[in-house]
A and B are shown apart, each in its own frame.
Chain A
Amino acid sequence: MTDDTTPTADDRTDEQVRTDGGTDEAARTDGGPPATVPPDDETPTWSERKERSQGLAQLTYQYFERSRREDEDLRTESTYVERDVLGFPTWPHETIRNLAITSFFLGIILLVASILPSHFGDPANPGSTPAIILPDWYLYWSFGLLKLDPINPDLAVLGGNIVMSNELLGLIAHGAIFGVITLVPFLNKGNARRPVEEPGWAALGVAGVILAITLAALAIQNFFPVQLELLFSLVFMLPVAGGVVTYAVLKTMREGYMYDLNRRYYMLRPPK
């Protein structure tokens, strides 16, 4: 591989005098060998690193060991049946099904786009406020939250003045709603998945959906031939009513399930 006349890296040493009288060390211009890399025999092995590590690193390592063991135990204790395929076959079943539902969805979008062209109004005029200001439908609920003036608290101390501006009230309402939604996984724990298993949470969800709809109605109040007070009461009463009905229905369904279970139980073990 190498020519005989050129010295290799192995037999070239510091003491070796070069033909010009200097040494290699004196002649080098690259600053010498890197000082930070330890010789190979001092590099700690992985097990040595584990033993040596302290504090947070050590704790992390211990936890990882624990969780790995936990996984291993769960796997050995599992009663799951092992088999060759994971779930529903991706090809062709899942792909065809997804393709079908995707093309249906795209087709609906194109159909709607072609028969319902988008609205196009007058150009912007800062000088004249239109009678009806509305965002797109999906922001109606948000727009409705900005029309909560009637429940903006006023204090006698302030001579009947409102505590905060109506816009700020709307913003706080937004914050509260987003906050509650964000906190849901931390408030509702456990393994229950079906609405029937947790009628309270399902009722809360239904109430939330109805509230979004009624707030949207509040946003477009100009289109309703109802008195504003009545509309405002409905905005908050309908969600409660919807929640109560949902709760009642789900509770009844649960009773039904229990009845079924009990009947089967007593058919198997008739009372003496």
Chain B
Amino acid sequence: MSLKKQDDMDHNAWLKSQDLTAIETVFLTTLIWLDKRLRIVDYLELLETMYYRANLQMPKSHTEQYDLDNKFWYWYPLYSLGSLSIIAYLLAAVSGAMLGFYYAPSTAGAVAQGDPTAAYDSMVMIMKDVQFGFMLRSIHRWAAQFMVAAVFLHMLRVYFTGAYKEPREVNWILGVVLIALTLLFGFSGYVLPWKQLSFWAAQIGVELALATPLVGEWAAQLLFGGFTLGQATLVRMYILHVFVLPFVVTSLIAIHVGIVWVQGIAEPH
């Protein structure tokens, strides 16, 4: 008996015995090559299962059963607000990533009080020198505004159509958390240009944090990097805006949508 391993499943011999066109041969060869290394057949089986699950016989939806489709269509924009806020979020993410190439979160460069800082100068540079930069910042800002507006309206729609009721309480609470985080997103972004309004908005934030009993000073240190505003504040707001919040909010949105997917859409009556 030879030491050479026998190939029980000689796929290549099987391939040769078939009468195939060139396209089929190339396709099968690639498939076999990939499958030998990655065993994709397992995943294909998963896909097949998913296909059959997605095409199960399902009961009629409420909207269909009571023939509400004909009256429902003009409410449709209100039911797409959640999706629209995600789209605005994605647009803000893309434009924000591009802005991040040029923005510098630094208060350096100001000789006297009221001089432009590096952060302010980088914003001026984005708006004046960077190709398309003026539009880019405008898009980022307006995408954020539209996202907040869509999120608020989304909450009102859910409230007035009673879509938060059992079994959707958890998703409602998750939505409240997401609104709070969206507002924090907006606030931290508002501080970044380090203009007068940014500075004094952050000042109000610090005063609010310090007014909180027990945890006030700790919260001020954590969020604003101290009791007076400066470089530490700007960097913390920057990290919050471009690192912490994107991860947290994106995962929460994923869970939010996932729960909607699992529970189904609360159908209009």
Give residues in A with beta carbon < 8 Å to B: 1, 3-4, 78, 80-88, 97-98, 101-102, 105-106, 108-110, 112-114, 116-118, 120-130, 133-139, 142-143, 146, 165, 167-168, 170-171, 178, 181-182, 184-186, 188-195, 198, 201-202, 205, 209
Minimal beta-carbon separation of A258 from chain B (angstroms): 17
Distance in Å: Cβ of B35 to nearest Cβ of chain A: 22
Contact yes or no, B160 A168, CB < 8 A: no
Q: Which residues of A contact B141 (CB under 8 A)?
A: 113, 118
Evaluate contact between B201 and A135: CB separation under 8 angstroms. yes
| CB closest residue in chain B, given A204 | B159
B interface residues, how many (CB within 8 angstroms) = 88
Instruction: Check A184/B172 contact, CB under 8 A, given A189-B165, A191-B165.
Output: yes
In the complex, B64 has a CB within 8 A of chain A = yes
B44 CB within 8 Å of chain A: no
Across the interface, do B1 and A3 meet the contact criterion of CB distance under 8 Å?
yes
- Give min CB distance, B79 to chain A, whole Å: 10
Quick check: A124 and B59 within 8 Å, CB to CB?
no
Which residues of the partner chain B approach A136 to less than 8 Å between Cβ atoms? 145, 148, 186, 190
CB of A168 to closest CB in B, whole Å: 5
Q: 10 A–B contact pairs at CB < 8 A? A: A80-B65, A86-B54, A98-B83, A120-B124, A127-B114, A128-B113, A181-B176, A185-B168, A185-B169, A205-B160
**Nearest 5 interchain pairs by C-beta:** A167-B211, A80-B59, A125-B114, A124-B199, A185-B169
> Which stretch in B13-21, B130-138, B236-244 binds the other chain?
B130-138
Q: Are A123 and B194 in contact (CB under 8 A)?
A: yes
CB-CB nearest in chain B for A108: B146
A186 vs B87: C-alpha distance when bound (angstroms): 30
Given contacts A102-B87, A106-B87, contact A122 B196 (CB under 8 A): yes
Q: For the complex, give the distance between the alpha carbons of A189 and B123 in Å.
A: 50
- Please give the distance in Å from A88's CB to the nearest CB on chain B: 8
* Beta-carbon contacts under 8 Å, B252-269 to A: 266, 268-269
Instruction: Name the distance in Å between B54's Cβ and chain A's nearest Cβ.
Output: 8
CB neighbours of A128 from chain B (8 A): 113-114
Bound Cα distance from A117 to B132, whole angstroms: 13
Contact in complex: A168, B212 (CB < 8 Å): yes
Shortest CB–CB separation between residue A73 and chain B, in angstroms?
15
A205: chain B residues at CB < 8 Å are 156, 159-160
Given A139-B186, A168-B212, A168-B213, CB of A114 within 8 Å of CB of B135: yes
Contact yes or no, B156 A113, CB < 8 A: no
Contact with A along B158-172 (1 / 0, CB 8 A): 011111111011001
Q: CB of B187 within 8 A of chain A?
A: yes
Tell me, yes or no, whether B221 is within 8 Å of chain A by CB: no
Query: B134 — which chain A residues lie within 8 A by C-beta?
Result: 117
Residues of B within 8 A of A106 (CB): 87, 91
Q: Which of A83, A125, A133, A189 makes the CB contact (< 8 A) with B166?
A: A189
CA gap between A189 and B266 in the complex, in Å? 14
Q: A114-B138, A188-B165 are in contact. Are A125 and B196 (CB under 8 A)?
A: yes
Of A135, A139, A146, A192, the most chain B CB neighbours within 10 A belong to: A135
Give Cα A78–Cα B269 distance, bound, in whole angstroms.
19
Known: A80-B65, A117-B138, A138-B145. 4 other contacts (CB 8 A): A86-B54, A101-B76, A101-B77, A102-B83
The 8 Å CB contact of A209, one of B61, B156, B190, is B156
Chain A residues whose CB sits within 8 angstroms of the CB of B228 once the complex forms? 126
In the assembly, what is the distance between CA of A205 and CA of B59, in Å?
33
Report B-chain residues with C-beta under 8 Å of the C-beta of A129.
200
**Residue B6 CB within 8 A of the other chain:** yes
C-alpha gap A117/B137 in the complex (Å):
8
Chain B, Cβ-Cβ closest to A143 = B204
